[in-house]
Amino acid sequence: MVTRIAVVTAGLREPSSTRMLADRLEASVREELARAGGEVESAFVELRPVGHAIIDAMLSGFPAEPLEEAFGKVAAADGVIAVTPAFNASFSGLFKAFFDVLPEDTLADMPVLIGATGGTERHSLVLEHALRPMFSYLHAIVSPRGVYAATDDFGSRESGAALGERIGRAAADYARLVQGCGPHRRRDSFTEDVAAMERMLRSGSS
Amino acid sequence: MSGMQFGIFTVGDVTPDPTTNREPTEAERIRDTVAIARKVEEVGLDVFATGEHHNPPFVPSSPTTLLGYVAALTERIILSTSTTLITTNDPVKIAEDFSVLQHLADGRTDVMLGRGNTGPVYPWFGQDIRQAIPLTVEHYGLLRRLWREEVVDWEGKLRTPLQSFTLAPRPLDGIPPFVWHGSIRTPEIAELAAYYGDGYFANHIFWPSSHTRTMIELYRKRFEHYGHGTREAAIVGLGGQVFIRPNSQDAVREFRPYFDNAPVYGHGPSLEDFSSMTPLTVGSPQQVIEKTLGFREYAGDYQRQLFLVDHAGLPLKTVLEQLDLLGGEVVPVLRKEFAVGRSPDAPDAPTHQSLLRARDEGTGTEPQPQQAPQTPED
């Protein structure tokens, strides 16, 4: 069975530690699912290239084509890995803005693995007080273990190994969650709205 | 009049001209709107439609007052709305206003109903925006009966009941004004239009054409599902937005400041991006003709094309020049080209005369939605 993973990453620079964390989470999840006999197809959604389109969508009410493609990748996934840099004690504005314009219900019942990066480990709770509540609000199923990586984690050998372990454990948890949830069913709110309208018309008119 | 109607729809915004910072007074804007409506007739277009808004910076809070006045100054054009708020207006008052207008305009009127999406307006009229769809369904169900039944006994959930109510005056010749249902993005409105076999007008101008295609396909499919005729027999209208100059570079240069500062989409996507994603055409008459003819590729053969030409602070003189170009160079070609290859099943745009003729010849298909099949086909 093929599991489709969408990786949303809000890093701004090149190379980006946020993207590096996203890559390692994706590789680890892929490995875990492969071990269980599954196959993984991953699609990366980098937010920087669609930054202007995200703001335009907020102002005009509809997404330009590249952003619509990004929405499509997320909507078609069975699981989402979402990674942001920590800015001012929260996720980055770009990261939040993407989920603000993502069509409602896209993430409902979606297994999500959260990750964040920052200059120091003092920001690590951003996972718990910013990312987790937002995804819970969106009715996503947020994996219990998120991964926070500080600059230090990419430096020394010891902390690098520790990060590797945290990634491995988070990926193992998340792989079990994705397997348990199975293929994500995409809601067709358009058809649902029309059906609800038909019911209302039939009961309302006499 | 051939199969299609062409005209303009105005939002009625009072917006400072961004190139001069000059803001017209409300009185000027209203007088300008009347001048625009008269020009629509003068240049040979078919329809003038006004929006309805109840808050600054808009002036058209009382559309039938405006249209009644325009009716007295014109002889040929159809007077319509874009849209009349079916949610916050009382259906009895809508029925009365449009009945009187019909008589005054000698049948040159129809109405486009919409929900209205300005939240604060609802409580000003004692309504609740969270009830927008149920209000639309209930109010419209009542409005239909008021125009069709001599004596109405009615009870609903969102309005006081009516007992032995008779609308006065009765609709002209006993023919209710033709109803369009207009929406930007709500599939429920396409379903409503299909259910009753009414016209469906896709605003079209604020969203990508892929979205308009989806909505019109839904409407046509459901129109057939409810037994009103084939998909081709459904009545479709589209919005459009143009700025025309003989030379396309001049059009872009002149329109850009208005686009960049426009209410609704200003300060967002570039003029170029917006033009490629939506029906907006800023260019020569030929470019407008080509883009407009392209609408048929996803809307099918349709009945009404309305353009937005008078918003975002454009001065009256410019708007009148736009109408000269539309009436003189664009629409005559569109009429000719749209007629080429038009499906014989595509109805002509409805008018009071055509509805009257259909009734007298017994070919009128007054919709009977209750008899439609109960099982959705998909």
pLDDT of residue A113: 98
Whole-number Å distance between alpha carbons of B151 and B163: 8
Nearest-neighbour CA in chain A from B242: distance (Å)? 18
Determine, for residues A62 and B207 on separate chains, whether the beta-carbon distance falls below 8 Å.
yes
Say if CB B162 and CB B152 are below 8 A apart.
yes
CATH number at residue A47: 3.40.50.360
Length of chain A: 206
Residues from chain B that touch A59, judged by Cβ atoms under 8 A, are 265, 267-269
Residues from chain A that touch B148, judged by Cβ atoms under 8 A, are none
Strand partners of residue A40:
A3
pLDDT of residue A159: 81
Burial B61-91 (b: 16+ CB within 10 A, else e): eebbebbbbbbeebeebbbbbbbbbbbbbbb
How many CB pairs below 8 A link A and B? 68
Q: What is the pLDDT of residues B331-374, one digit of tens each?
A: 999 999 999 999 999 999 999 999 999 999 886 555 555 455 55
Of the pLDDT bands very low, low, confident and very high (cuts 50, 70, 90), residue A156 is confident
Whole-number Å distance between alpha carbons of B278 and B222: 25
Residue of B137, B187, B208 lying closest to A201 (CB–CB): B137
- DSSP helix/strand/coil, B80: strand
Residues from chain A that touch B156, judged by Cβ atoms under 8 A, are 204
pLDDT of residue B362: 80
Residues with Cβ < 8 Å from B87, sequence gap 6 or more?
A: B115, B116, B122, B127, B129, B131, B132, B135, B136, B139
A14 in contact with B at a CB cutoff of 8 Å? no
Say if CB B182 and CB B190 are below 8 A apart.
no
Whole-number Å distance between alpha carbons of B142 and A43: 51
pLDDT of residue B185: 86
Say if CB B173 and CB B147 are below 8 A apart.
no
pLDDT of residue B368: 54
Structure token digits, residue B200? 């469906």
pLDDT of residue B367: 54
Residue of B141, B211, B267 lying closest to A204 (CB–CB): B141
Domain tally for chain A? 1
pLDDT of residue B365: 56
Nearest-neighbour CA in chain A from B39: distance (Å)? 31
Supply the DSSP symbol for B330.
I
Whole-number Å distance between alpha carbons of B182 and B303: 14
pLDDT of residue B284: 98
Interface test with B, best of A198, A202, A206 (most B CBs within 10 A): A198
Of the pLDDT bands very low, low, confident and very high (cuts 50, 70, 90), residue A186 is confident
Pairing between strand B304-308 and B5-10? parallel
Structure token digits, residue B128? 């609740």
Please give chain B's pLDDT, 378 residues, in tens. 458 999 999 999 999 999 999 999 999 999 999 999 999 999 999 999 999 999 999 999 999 999 999 999 999 999 999 999 999 999 999 999 999 999 999 999 999 999 988 889 999 999 999 999 999 999 999 999 999 999 999 999 999 999 999 999 999 999 999 999 999 888 999 999 999 999 999 999 988 888 999 999 999 999 999 999 999 999 999 999 999 999 999 999 999 999 999 988 889 999 999 999 999 999 999 999 999 999 999 999 999 999 999 999 999 999 999 999 999 999 999 999 999 999 999 999 999 999 999 999 886 555 555 455 554 444
The residue to which tokens 């470019």 are assigned: B287
Q: What is the pLDDT of residues A14-60, one digit of tens each?
A: 889 999 999 999 999 999 999 999 999 999 999 999 999 999 999 98
Say if CB B324 and CB B307 are below 8 A apart.
no
Residue type (1 letter), B2: S
Q: Examine the pLDDT at A205 and tell me if it is beyond 70.
A: no
Q: What is the pLDDT of residues A63-109, one digit of tens each?
A: 999 999 999 999 999 999 999 999 999 999 999 999 999 999 999 99
Kindly write down the DSSP assignment for every residue of A121-190, as one continuous string: GGGTTHIIIIIHHHHHHTT-EE-S--EEEEGGGGTSHHHHHHHHHHHHHHHHHHHHHHHHH-SPPPP-HH
The residue to which tokens 């004004």 are assigned: B177
Say if CB B299 and CB B238 are below 8 A apart.
yes
Other Cβ atoms closer than 10 A to B201: 31
A204 in contact with B at a CB cutoff of 8 Å? yes
Of the pLDDT bands very low, low, confident and very high (cuts 50, 70, 90), residue A160 is confident
Of the pLDDT bands very low, low, confident and very high (cuts 50, 70, 90), residue A188 is confident
Other Cβ atoms closer than 10 A to B92: 19
**B83 prior amide bond cis, ω within 30:** yes
Whole-number Å distance between alpha carbons of B187 and A27: 41
A200 in contact with B at a CB cutoff of 8 Å? yes
Please state the domain extents for chain B.
Answer: 5-371
Residues with Cβ < 8 Å from B199, sequence gap 6 or more?
A: B178, B179, B180, B181, B193, B235, B236, B237, B303, B304, B350
pLDDT of residue A140: 98
Q: How far is CA B99 from the centre of its chain?
A: 18
Determine, for residues B207 and A195 on separate chains, whether the beta-carbon distance falls below 8 Å.
no
Residue of B138, B187, B267 lying closest to A193 (CB–CB): B187
Residue type (1 letter), A64: A
**A15 prior amide bond cis, ω within 30:** yes
B273 in contact with A at a CB cutoff of 8 Å? yes
**Phi-psi bin for B44: left (phi > 0), alpha (psi -120 to 50), beta?**
left
Residues with Cβ < 8 Å from A196, sequence gap 6 or more?
A: B188
Say if CB B287 and CB B248 are below 8 A apart.
yes
Say if CB B54 and CB B351 are below 8 A apart.
no
Residues from chain B that touch A62, judged by Cβ atoms under 8 A, are 206-208, 211, 277
pLDDT of residue B112: 98
| Fold assignment, B5-371 | TIM Barrel (3.20.20)
Residue of B nearest to A60 (CA): B265
The residue to which tokens 């009966």 are assigned: B145
